[in-house]
Chain A
């Protein structure tokens, strides 16, 4: 495929609303990118502009309601965190030996969610997988906001959060540096690098679309907002030239991060000697899991947005079909990884590993293990059935279950392992406290708040890139004003 020879701008001057798509009822178009639209009639450029920009229309009460809900959740989280800072970690349900519990579980959960954005936007971009076009913007936004959310948890879980900056290698008169051998420090760098690159990539991708929004903006505030954030985008040929180069560059830069971030997060566990953590399979296992959960989360978010904003013609069933296949693939990898953990425990003849992997399914909280297995390994197998892959309500169920299952996976890894270590006298258990729950709720509110604001302020579907996979409009007499 020669995508770049067919840049969306070489037949028009950027995506300004004055370009009203192709002719109505024109049945002659050629397909680009090899994706055959399932609907007979493709979208026109104008329809794309209209549909996407309609999302930015003044909000309805439902939007306000949802934003309000998110803010309430954020407030719950804030109150919980404040309580914890004032009264100490005793407010959380952790214990000896479960020094990490809900927070790190939720941290890994959000880092995992943050994965798919970069995968969809960067990796699939490099692989020229065009089904990514309508999806990637949302996925990227999700990535950035999920990292923003995940990044809170290492802070929340600190015993003395007011000294969080000691984890940074900043020059100080005592010449004390952080311990570069500690996986937690690697985490700091991995997550902050990921946040920097993914948000830069995200913002760059947004520029042409913001320009579209700018040109269509009716209020002074929006003109100002988009005027600044579009960074003077005019859609000139040279801008596109540099833009595509930069985009490719960032895609290339972000791609290794897909692998590295979650690998580093997995080292938090794999580098320790806790039975159930100390395993070489962790990095690929975590990356696969992250992609799995990320894609599930993208679908979970896209389904209601598609309905609310009427994006049915942009987010077509074929896109869901493609993503379902990714879910099937990663579910398979994950199931294999789970199996390898058990196999290794048995094959190593290490009594502590064996005890741990006996404990997970058959211990006090085997339910968490079986819940995970059902949600991540068994139920997604139904996606082998083609009709189910495009059955939107079913997909919604699958992805919700996967989200739960992936949270449980991290819970199993973290809490179950810590609960059942070397010294039987010190076996213990972790119980959620209201503060834990409040903070997890708060994290969903925080994430939801950013997503809600984002879809109202910025184009949540990539206008320019959608057009890449549409038939180019033909210049006709009646089509031009």
Chain B
């Protein structure tokens, strides 16, 4: 067994090696007696050197038994293909959510410093969301558990743990598992592939029950798919093929199932000559709603009614062409008495909107109907999903945009976890082993998991962090972070992706697979797949070789294995055929709207509406400063949990923006500042999921007062009933500053983010007032007469083009920029003073100008970074030439020369310059992530986007070595690289054939403010395109 797998060196296959002997990197582990796990003890310099040594030297020295710390001398000759300072990339799979995006991890001198989407991966194709980008901050989280721990304090006390050795910890757990009498349960997050196989092996061999719980899984969708399509899975949605998308609440551009993949497909549809139309039905305007052509603000719970009416109408109008007569009868039966007018009335919307939606669906060539997120978090989730699946069947979406039998498997089960809680309460559970899920935080408050878990004889946590669940454990066997672990994930039918560690472990933790294999080995069970060494790496390899049998892989399996690892091991096999036909017997017959609250709640109480965002997800990433400081895409709030209310609701409650309210019901309570927004239904209290941790780490526990999961009732049916409770919202005398970074939500007609509106038929609408009053039309192409001689850019002129029609505002680029450019996070207090350091921000604007009344408005997302103006206003005002224009068109910034007059920022019309107000201390080992190619800026100097000049320099060096110019597409700044929809294109504007040149000359292209102030930015934006429906 090995706890310290050395990453495989991709660069040089001849000296591949994948193991340093077990225990060697542990030999010099600093032993801190009595150290509490949350103590701020940094990682010692010695340990750091050890890791550098282990990874750069270790590969060549596999098997040597001596202490690696003896070998920390600078090498005259590089070993293992590694040259100090030269990055090595590892292919792996992101495990932040269960989407299974492929990633490439950049390591320099043995440390992972950047995570990027793997270019040719079947899921994400190069992009990676903010959550995935931030996985580095989970790896280097200073609040991670650093060694095995044993509870010493009072049972179920908090934080009373003492370090123990791995041997002792494993022996104790093995002994517990070996005890008879009561059952042992493994409770894990959503797992697939090798992890799932291992769990199945273990539960079979040891008679251990395996329960899966992940709050973010669309369980009702899989149940409905089973009943309607005959396969229990999340079908494969082909967003790119769809021309009309009707979406009941699924936040597929941000958090739902596989957001990077879906955003990529959706953007493909938007880029067509006649872009796809998107209707979004949700009580709150989410990021996905903001990107839709029409947001329909239906009252919560009425989605099922709308779906019923839609089903009725589409069934009538398509005359049942795609359905069996049995199904036709069933549909006629359930839709009897339902009318568009009546459901529109229930939903609080106009019937015309539903009519329009139905007409579009019926007329579509490749329609796609979805439900998810909050819409499938009510007690009518299954019913809604069944209706949606039926609509897809009726309109012929199945087989075109909904591919059945090629989807994702979901093992999470609310029934399973509810049963587990019941058995815990009965005292039937002996040993409970928990990994990869935080049920003490994410289970509904009504289930009282925290109380129930005390009835288990022993609770073992295989967590990475001392989260709310790990706090309840008796023994903690800390597992690796995703970037240190092995794995093989089954993403969807036939698509596999390998996961490998990118570096030696940061702390004295082990791969969760290794821990489990060690435990079963100690219990006398041999897993042949784990090989003689008994490691999970071997298990993964065995699994890989077994599934790739039909694949062309040559004779040398060892070589194939290494090549697979280098490639990231995504394998696409033929998907199995469609499963059995549908029987209507299993389908529900009642489609009443869901009931909110229980007998204890009154109707005056507000419906609790928890929502997820890429920033908070379900709370799993709450201890990452990058995500906490990332402005919420719709409200721009940072470092907080708030309560969103409609102005009318707020007026009825007599609360104002910034007042603090308590949200109470029978199950729990939370407090938070009020954020008043017209973009939420009346009678609803929107609260972000995932904040209000009481444990987990320094950042997580500082944000939010109360956990919204605590307000949720007991699951009915198989779905997490996130939208089911009511709560009393009342103002309390408490002071709280809600920090939102947006100075204004509106563009004030300034034409910064522009939209071309299309009629439903796709003809461009000539907006009478598209962007401001003083200038007409989208006249982005006039070249003003210049008074002065213009600058020359002899070889390169770097530029960027951003397609706003493809930009979803998901902010992956923002986090990528933080990671690449060593941008510090400053915390809430400094954010409140406008001192956040982001070089790139997403400006969200909602404008009603030029529209009719009511909900008609345009949402725009405008990524704003340094525009690298040819006539940069910042340059002439600097008294010391700290900023200047270089011959490649970059607006360069010399940090060393800056004295900090800040005049450049004042004169920057785009307000993209940031000042180092203070030196930010980054705790170890979070600081290990720092990119060595980018200067850390000191207090008192200005900084800003450089177009990732380090990448430009690198590419130019390579080109020079090869005696050529830089090729188009060779340089990708971090933002462009991470963009799921590839909305950002970078390149040489001097080359007329480069993509960026062509896009900059597109008829949709314009430059922000250029026609006003002649700054001549190097960044072109392409108008967004929206239908006005």
Contacts and interface: CB of A to CB of B under 8 A. Distances in A.
Given A89-B940, A90-B830, A95-B833, A351 B774 contact: yes
Interface stretch (A307-315, A423-431, A450-458, A466-474): A423-431
A310 to B, nearest CB: 47
A319 interface: no
Interface in B79-130: none
Nearest to A159: B900
A96 B880 contact: no
A100 interface: yes
B881 interface: yes
A427 B363 CA distance: 45
Contacts of A423: 743, 752, 843, 864, 909-911
Q: Which one of A89, A90, A94, A429 has the highest number of Cβ atoms from chain B below 10 Å of its Cβ? A: A90
A163 B899 contact: yes
Nearest to A86: B939
B876 A100 contact: no
B843 A351 contact: no
B845 A351 contact: no
A142 B719 CA distance: 78
A426 B914 CA distance: 12
B911 A157 contact: no
A176 B881 contact: yes
Contact of B911 (A89, A96, A159): A96
Contacts of A154: 901
Given A422-B909, A422-B1009, A424-B743, A159 B873 contact: no
A99 interface: yes
B907 A425 contact: no
Interface in A340-354: 349-352
Chain B, interface residues (CB within 8 Å), range: 35 or more
A182 interface: yes
Contacts of B862: 425
B843 A188 contact: no
Nearest to A164: B899
A179 B879 contact: yes
B995 interface: no
Contact of B903 (A177, A184, A355, A428): A184
Interface in A400-446: 418, 421-429, 431
Nearest to B747: A424
Interface stretch (B433-441, B916-924, B1018-1026): B916-924
A178 interface: yes
Contacts of B915: 89, 96, 99, 159
Contact of B743 (A161, A166, A349, A427): A427
A35 interface: no
A98 B917 CA distance: 13
Interface stretch (A45-53, A119-127, A241-249, A268-276): A268-276
Chain B: interface secondary structure?
loop
Contacts of A88: 916-919, 939-940
Interface residues of A, number: 53
A422 B899 contact: no
B813 to A, nearest CB: 16
A182 B939 contact: no
Nearest to A95: B834
A427 B834 CA distance: 10
Interface in B694-732: none
Nearest to A350: B774
Given A98-B834, A272-B906, A158 B879 contact: no
A89 B917 contact: yes
Interface in B938-962: 939-942
A426 to B, nearest CB: 4
Contacts of B878: 179, 182
A272 B873 contact: yes
Interface in B844-887: 844-845, 862, 864, 873, 876-881
A188 B879 contact: yes
B656 interface: no
B899 A160 contact: yes
A227 interface: no
Contacts of A284: none
Contacts of B900: 89, 158-160
A182 B876 contact: yes
Interface string B962-998: 0000000000000000000000000000000000000
B911 A160 contact: no
Interface string A295-337: 0000000000000000000000000000000000000000000
A259 interface: no
Contacts of A94: 902, 917
Contacts of B881: 176-179
Contacts of B843: 423, 425
B898 interface: yes
Given A89-B940, A166-B880, A423-B911, A97 B748 contact: no
Contact of A273 (B833, B902, B940, B1013): B1013
Contacts of B911: 96-97, 421-423, 425-426
Nearest to B749: A351
Interface string A88-129: 111001111111100000000000000000000000000000
B632 to A, nearest CB: 14
A185 interface: yes
Given A160-B940, A423-B843, A274 B906 contact: yes
Contact of B877 (A164, A182, A351): A182
A93 B698 CA distance: 27
Given A90-B835, A179-B881, A431-B833, A426 B940 contact: no
A87 B921 CA distance: 12
B909 A421 contact: yes
B746 A424 contact: yes
A228 interface: no
A90 B744 CA distance: 24
B743 A272 contact: no
Contacts of B909: 273, 421-423
A387 to B, nearest CB: 46
A177 B880 CA distance: 7
B743 A426 contact: yes
Contacts of A181: 876-877
A167 interface: yes
A96 B939 contact: no
A158 B833 contact: no
Given A96-B835, A423-B864, A425-B841, A167 B910 contact: no
A90 B906 contact: no
B768 interface: no
Contacts of B774: 349-351
Contacts of A97: 743, 834, 905-906, 911
Nearest to B941: A159
Contacts of B834: 95-98, 428-429
Contacts of A188: 879
Contacts of B600: none
B73 interface: no
A137 to B, nearest CB: 35
12 contacts: A88-B918, A89-B939, A97-B743, A159-B900, A166-B897, A167-B879, A184-B879, A421-B909, A423-B864, A425-B843, A425-B844, A425-B911
Interface of B: 741-750, 752, 772-774, 830, 833-836, 841, 843-845, 862, 864, 873, 876-881, 897-903, 905-907, 909-911, 914-919, 939-942, 1009, 1012-1013
Given A89-B915, A158-B899, A183-B877, 19 more contacts: A96-B915, A159-B898, A159-B901, A167-B880, A177-B881, A179-B879, A182-B877, A182-B903, A184-B903, A271-B877, A273-B907, A274-B906, A350-B774, A351-B749, A351-B774, A421-B911, A422-B750, A422-B911, A423-B752
Interface of A: 87-90, 93-100, 154, 157-161, 163-164, 166-167, 176-179, 181-185, 188, 268, 271-274, 349-352, 355, 418, 421-429, 431
Per CB-CB distance, the 8 closest pairs between chain A and chain B, nearest first, are: A159-B900, A427-B743, A159-B940, A95-B834, A424-B744, A426-B911, A99-B902, A90-B917
